Chain A
Amino acid sequence: MRMENNPMEVLTETYSEEEQRNYAGGFCGFVLLEETQYDLPALLVRLQKEWQITPLEAPTVQEMEAGNLVFEIPGAMITVEFLPMLIPEGEAVYAARHNADWVDAVSVAENHKAHLMAAVLPLGMAPLEAGKVYVKLLSSCLAGEHAVAVYTSGTVLEPGAYQRVAQSMREGELPIHNWIYLGTYETEAGSNAYTVGMDAFGKDELEILGSRRSAEELKKFLFDVARHVLEEDITLHGGALVGFVGDEGLPMQRRDGVMVEGHSIQIAY
């Protein structure tokens, strides 16, 4: 999925020193379970065997039997908690409706009986590395018995699809599809698209509003911008231009998000 032939660049014209960034924090998601039980010790073993994620100090069996797996790795804290209940207020079902690529998303979300809350808190670790650890963590959670879906970045994803993207990290790929949800919707002004998940990296979400292009074109474009921003650790600024090298730069503005909380970078595409 690399844009080898169409490198992207950001043509900056002006910077605003007063711009405030969205809050950048940890990575947090949920694994939906079809039964009210989950084997946390086995998860710890999988993390070590599959991804070489090893606690600095091993959690106790007692803590894991209580439903908590909390441990430290260099530069980050990892926590997985088992909750014997549905995700409250139908949140997972609502999010499942955003995944048009998985026919069963809503029914799986409706029928889950328990869930895991899984978080990676980067405390010194670079956001990109923490994001990779997060994908590895969720992938290992999904490999456990009774795991039926993952709810992250505002949508519900099918386990197989999530794990395939996770495995692509072994070939040097960034798991963008596991990090960033790309949403589209139509209004009278035209097609619109947005990202969910950039904030965990300390980046503004991206939006395109009132475009004449198709939803698929918008998603592809936003995917490329998001990947470029994350790969190169770029901070986009209002008043700058973005585009593929050789193409005309597209203006960006930093404003209050329309479909996302906080600020977003709105690109005229």
Chain B
Amino acid sequence: MDEIKNTTISFRQRVLAFWQLFLEQEYEIRYLLNSLEDFEAANKFLGGLLATVFQHPVFLLRKQEEYYQLEVSADGDISRLYGLNYWRMQAPSAIEEQWDILVGKLPAEDPTQVEVRMEGLSIRADEIEIWPLFEPGGRLGLEYYSPEMLQLKPDMAYTLFCTMLEQCIGELCLMTNIAYINMLEAANFEEPLLLSELADFIADWQLAGQLPPQNDPLGLYSDYEMTEQDGMWELRKDIRSGNVSAAALPVLNCYYAQVDYLFWEQAEEGLIWGFLFYSGAGLTAEQRMHICNGLEEDLNRIAAREQGVGECVGIAVGLEYMYLDCVCYDWDAFLEIAAQLLQSYGALYQIQTGGFSQLYKGGQTIELL
């Protein structure tokens, strides 16, 4: 049975230690920026502090007039937002006098100035034509046309467009509102927007209620259905439908694709993805959902809000089992709470089987009933 390697320290402990160290040492960063104007050294120092939490932190340090800004990015991996958001929420209030701590790259102040020059080309955001398409579920597909980008290799053009898109609308807005992007080989007949105008377009439709009201990827949930699988009485193979946070979906997709890199990358930082499960044998459908909803509510009340050790991010219904997908910031502490809750429901409803499993193929499973 695989075990968590390379760390004995929970994500929660790392985060608390970081903020303690940051609180004590942030004056050195300010001194480097103010007195020495040595941004390189300040970035290196801050990178070292962030390395106590994140294996490969992606961040931007800015000095504003009245305060300092630290912007930490998920670098394209929406599943990292849980950890980043948790890290941000643990920041001591004392630092807020001097620091603005942000999760997600901000958009450029003036998107018309977003420009990339490469391979002799100049590609400007106010010259790229786009056609936003409203998708079911309240997000946007984007088709875009740029004669300059067509001169590049497709993967280069895609990467470049994503970068410019993020610069124009911001990282969290992109993750929340954009479902897919597609490069066109010729301009669409319909009247286009310009990429530099997309941020205002999204803001208008958010106000109109046609898009998510806030740029909060953690607030988006997706329903999904599964087809019948071989070995359907094994854990998770009996699932027929579920509802999961959009930010957790990549981890789930990796699990089903039997590709575990997302799990292990975050496990190295002490953050563990897993699921609580229990057998529904002998229970009515109504009882199954009642228990599931109760567990979800109790987990989020105790584990998330009261103790800050983890949270429930989705629910799935199987033929044999019910599942609650979770992200654990302190695996041991979260497991203890989950065990107590499952055992109390188990005793009340005569549930025979239940446990907690880590979300990778062959993941460590602990029986709790």
B-binding residues in A (CB < 8 A): 25-26, 28, 56-57, 63, 66-70, 72, 74-77, 79, 81, 83-85, 88-89, 117, 119, 121, 123-124
Contacts and interface: CB of A to CB of B under 8 A. Distances in A.
B41 A79 contact: no
Contacts of A56: 6-8
Nearest to A63: B51
Given A88-B28, A121-B17, 9 more contacts: A26-B21, A28-B21, A56-B8, A67-B41, A74-B8, A79-B51, A83-B32, A117-B28, A121-B52
B328 to A, nearest CB: 16
Contacts of B35: 88
Contacts of A76: 9
Listed residue (A28, A83, A88) with the most chain B CB atoms within 10 angstroms of its CB: A83
A230 B14 CA distance: 25
Most B CB within 10 A of own CB, among A72, A89, A123: A123
Contacts of A81: 44-45, 48-49
The contact size tier of chain B is 20 to 34
19 contacts: A63-B51, A66-B44, A68-B44, A68-B45, A70-B51, A76-B9, A79-B21, A79-B51, A81-B44, A83-B32, A84-B41, A85-B36, A88-B28, A88-B31, A117-B45, A121-B20, A123-B14, A123-B17, A124-B8
Nearest to A55: B6
B38 A85 contact: yes
Contacts of A85: 31-32, 36, 38, 41
Contacts of B268: 57
Contacts of B45: 67-68, 81, 83, 117
A124 B13 contact: yes
Interface in B35-68: 35-36, 38, 41, 44-45, 47-49, 51-52
Contacts of A72: 6-9
Given A28-B25, A85-B36, A123-B17, A70 B48 contact: yes
Contacts of B41: 67, 83-85
Main secondary structure of the interface of B (DSSP, over half): helix
Contacts of B180: none
Interface in B299-350: none
A83 B52 contact: no
B205 interface: no
Contacts of A68: 44-45, 47-48, 51
Nearest to B55: A57
B25 to A, nearest CB: 6
B21 A119 contact: yes
A75 B6 CA distance: 12
A123 B7 CA distance: 11
B256 interface: no
Nearest to B27: A88
Contacts of A119: 21
Contacts, number: 83
Contacts of A26: 17, 20-21
B24 interface: yes
Contacts of A88: 27-28, 31, 35
Given A56-B8, A121-B20, A67 B44 contact: yes
B42 to A, nearest CB: 9
Given A84-B41, A85-B32, A77 B17 contact: yes
B9 A77 contact: yes
A124 B9 contact: yes
Nearest to A59: B51
B222 to A, nearest CB: 35
B8 A79 contact: no
Point out which of B35, B36, B51 has the most chain A C-beta atoms below 10 A from its C-beta.
B51
Nearest to A73: B8
Contacts of A124: 8-9, 13
A77 B8 CA distance: 10
Contacts of A66: 44, 47-48
A66 B31 CA distance: 19
A67 B38 CA distance: 14
A76 B51 CA distance: 14
Nearest to A67: B44
A56 to B, nearest CB: 6
A66 B45 CA distance: 9
A83 B28 contact: yes
Contacts of A79: 21, 48-49, 51-52
A79 B20 CA distance: 13
Pairs A-B, 7 closest by C-beta atoms: A68-B48, A121-B17, A88-B31, A123-B13, A70-B51, A81-B48, A123-B9
Nearest to B16: A123
A49 to B, nearest CB: 23
A91 to B, nearest CB: 9
B4 to A, nearest CB: 11
